[in-house]
Amino acid sequence: MTKINLAELNIKKAHELLRGGEISARELVDFYLENIKRHDKNIHAYLEVFDDVFEQAEAVDKKIKLGKELPLLAGIPLAVKDLILIKSKKCSAGSKILENFNAPYSAAVIEKLDNQGAVYLGRTNMDEFAMGVSTEYSAFGPTKNPYDLKRVPGGSSGGSAAAVAQQECLAALGSDTGGSIRQPASFCGLVGLKPTYGSVSRRGLIAMASSLDQIGPLTKTVEDAEIIFGAIKGKDPLDSTSVGNPISHKSATKSDFVVGVPKEFFNMEGENKGISEDVIKNTKKAINNLKTRGFKIKEVSIPSLNYVVETYYIIMPAEVSTNLARYDGVKYGLAKKGKTLLEDYLKTRRAGFGDEPRRRILLGNYVLSSGYYDAFYGRARRAVSAMKNDFKKVFSEVDILLSPTTPTSAFKIGEKTGNPVEMYLADIFTCGANLAGLPAISLPNGLSENGLPIGLQFIAPWFEEEKLFETGKVFEKCGLQI
């Protein structure tokens, strides 16, 4: 009998092996737990490995023995970003202020995965309250990139990305506010999906910026991302922003399928300031590979993208300052006592929040303050409206958009922490999809000259994730391999 290489499994293959009795859920879980034991002391992808993992697996094995129907995700070992509530488990959002917070209920996505019988290995490290692009801003220490331990895995879902890349889980959940799934997917050589805003319920996701946050998967393949998205999407009556809106679309296999390349992001012929030569080279190869598969490539213009980072870093901190106001030492989480109520607040927040949340709270309060609201926040909101209109117009000309996921491959730990503006520019290609609420996916697009993964991003019209999956599967077959 041929020995099964569990490191090569995708979700569908693992499902077939479980259903056929060739492996058990317990054996599958044990493989990943051994990898965690072997590697995570160096990677620090996990903040906690749950103590009931084998119990979860054995419940699935029992169903298999009884001949019960086995959903696709039954027994599949997943990691969960430490921002998504699992009932009775700790959920800290990577912050000291919630270090010992136990979730009173499960997030909507967890309820859906529970119905499938998924196994949760543990909660993964992240930038505090999802504020960062490197996972260096975790209150519990940085996560390291499995490709180079001196480099960052991206953020804020860096722990989830590193866990998948290091074979410490089969797939993982993350959240994406300005690129926090796609950017670590790019840095770690994975597939990362940010769904359309509202297609996946945010109930039970600790809020960073409520109009931008979205839960999605980090996986080895496009098909795996599609499977998890299919399981977690849908209308939630307890989340008023969630919707159920399937849309028919033109197949990516049609000969007249057009891929647009925004010149504001990537000028195919001109100067590409801020983008590394490796990223330029690999993106051009990806475009040529798509051409050979019959895709039509068209350079397009989305003028409002010239202001995407500035707009994002006004809207997001404004919402951060509102959402984090609830952490006051009174309702839940860390509590520090002073002589007055105000002193309670000040002591709690001083002890509980790290530098990056403080920076964004201050910025958010500033742009919302009297005398500055219209000059900053009001103008940023108008820019978002213009951006949505620009995207709507360009999608009347093309079926999908293409860009690099990040300007560079993974940077070194500590390289950008002294310059927040330089750190923020890592979101230049990703945060536009969040501001407009569009679905986007990052795919592995080869390696840099020093052996680091590079990502390629596709952006589709609202609720047309299927275009991302179809195009992504074609690209997997013809694109640069890792």
Q: Minimal CA–CA distance to 7: which of 23, 20, 71? A: 23
Q: Which residues contact 436 (CB under 8 A, 6 or more apart)?
A: 384, 387, 388, 391
Say if residue 78 is exposed, middle or buried (CB neighbours under 10 Å; 0-12, 13-18, 19+): buried
Please state the pTM of the whole predicted model: 0.96
Residue 148, classified by CB atoms within 10 Å of its CB into exposed (0-12), middle (13-18) or buried (19+), is middle
Whether the bond between 370 and the residue before it is cis, its omega within 30 degrees of 0, is no
Does the active-site annotation cover 138? Answer: no
If residue 17 lies in a helix (H) or strand (E), which one and from where to where? helix 11-19
* Annotation marks residue 255 as catalytic: no
Catalytic annotation present for 180: yes
Q: Based on the number of CB atoms within 10 Å of its own CB, is 332 exposed (0-12), middle (13-18) or buried (19 or more)? A: middle
User: C-alpha 139: how far from its chain's center?
Assistant: 19
The DSSP code for 335 is -
pLDDT at 215: 98
Pick the catalytic residue from 81, 144, 416, 467.
Answer: 81
pLDDT-flagged residues of the chain (< 50) = 1, 270
Q: If DSSP codes are grouped into helix, strand and coil, which group holds residue 391?
A: helix
Distance CA 143, CA 218 (A): 16
- Please report the pLDDT score of residue 182 as a whole number: 98
Q: How far apart are CA 431 and CA 183, in angstroms?
A: 10
The predicted pLDDT at position 4 comes to 86
| Residue 147 token pair | 């490709």
Q: Give the domain 6-232 fold.
A: Amidase signature (AS) enzymes (3.90.1300)
**At 26, which amino acid appears?**
R
pLDDT score at 2: 54
Residues 6+ apart with CB under 8 A from 141: 44, 125
Catalytically annotated residue among 24, 95, 156, 409: 156
How far does Cα 391 stand from its chain's mean position?
A: 22
Contact status, residue 326 vs residue 349, Cβ threshold 8 Å: no
Where in the chain are all domains bearing CATH 3.90.1300.10? Answer: 6-232, 258-305+382-478
Select from 189, 191, 239 the least CA-distant residue to 214.
239
Q: Where are the alpha helices (DSSP H) in 324-454?
A: 341-352, 355-368, 379-394, 420-424, 431-436
The pLDDT, as a whole number, for residue 478 is 83
Give the pLDDT of residue 1: 40
Ramachandran region of residue 312, left (φ > 0), alpha (ψ -120 to 50) or beta? alpha
Please give the Cα distance from 15 to 18 (Å, whole number). Answer: 5
Catalytic, out of 180, 186, 304, 321: 180
Q: What is the 3-state secondary structure (H, E, C) of 91-158?
A: CCCCCHHHCCCECCCCCHHHHHHHHHCCEEEEEECCCHHHCCCCCCCCCCCCCCECCECCECCCCCCH
396-415 burial, b if ≥16 CB within 10 A, otherwise e? eebbbbbbbbbbbbbbebeb
Where does 258-305+382-478 sit in CATH, by number? 3.90.1300.10
User: What was the pLDDT predicted at 331?
Assistant: 85
Pair 348, 369: CB distance under 8 Å: no
